[in-house]
Amino acid sequence: MNQLTQFPSRNELDSALADSVQQILSEAIKHKGKASIAVSGGSTPKGLFSILSHCDLEWSKVTITLADERWVPLDSIDSNTRLVHENLLQNKAAAAKFFHLKQGEELNEETLSDLNVAANTTLLPLDVLILGMGEDGHTASLFPCSEQISEGLSQDNESALLKVLPTTAPHQRISFSFAALSKSKHTFLHLCGENKQVVLNQALEGQDSFEMPIRAFLHHPSLNTQVYWAP
């Protein structure tokens, strides 16, 4: 299921989402002494990241990770890790821990196995998940064009992370699976722009998740995906 909230501007969306995230993370820290959040890359969350970085929070008890990452050097302009370090792990949020998805030079079975163990023992389930969406309906690196899409969307997948080789986008990727992401306690879909509204409407009108993977989150009966959109 899903719930759509529309905002007049991106600034108002970013402020509201930052407030929600701050409250959720604070409650998690209060009840269990720690909190975890996965964010997405791209240009859309930069404003949100900036606001979050100034929030009053026990950031030293928060672990931040990414929903997915391109397997590129960490100083690459295409690196989501670089994006997070430059825009979120700043100011007060500099005290947070960061769970690296891109570790080492090669994304092989050994690396993937080690990352899966680490994610399952130290990070999951997530307290907050902030997803984005591509114009093909992909989210995280769950691409409809990839041979790994069945594995990525399987609710029975015991692996938290998988290697993805999209055919319509550059770079090999590492992505959390739907099975892992769907266990997040709070899920948000962060969208801006008229084009994304068109794609969202297409996703809401159909049920085929293999055609548009974001549908797995929007239509799942036991998930409540909070959709935040602004022009």
Tens digit of each residue's pLDDT (9 = 90 or more) over 69-81: 999 999 999 999 9
Q: What is the pLDDT of residues 30-61, one digit of tens each?
A: 999 999 999 999 999 999 999 999 999 999 99
pLDDT tens string 140-154:
999 999 999 999 999
DSSP state of 198: H
**Domain count of the chain?**
1
Alpha carbon distances (Å) from 149 to 63, 117, 143: 27, 22, 6
- What percentage of the chain has pLDDT greater than the value 90? 99
Please determine, for residue 64, whether its predicted confidence score (pLDDT) is greater than 90.
yes
pLDDT, tens only, 205-216: 999 999 999 999
- The pLDDT of residue 183 is 97
Q: pLDDT by residue (tens digit) across 169-185?
A: 999 999 999 999 999 99
Nearest alpha carbon to residue 124 among 184, 196, 174, 64: 184
Q: CATH number for the domain including 103?
A: 3.40.50.1360
Read off the pLDDT of each residue in 61-90 and give the average, rounded to a whole number: 97
pLDDT at 132: 98
| Domain boundaries, position 34 | 2-230
Return the pLDDT at 217.
98
The CA distances from residue 173 to 73, 149, 161, 195, in Å, are 12, 12, 10, 24
Q: Binning pLDDT at 50, 70 and 90, where does residue 104 land?
A: confident
Query: Which residues does 223 contact at the CB level (< 8 Å), separation at least 6?
Result: 1, 182, 187, 217
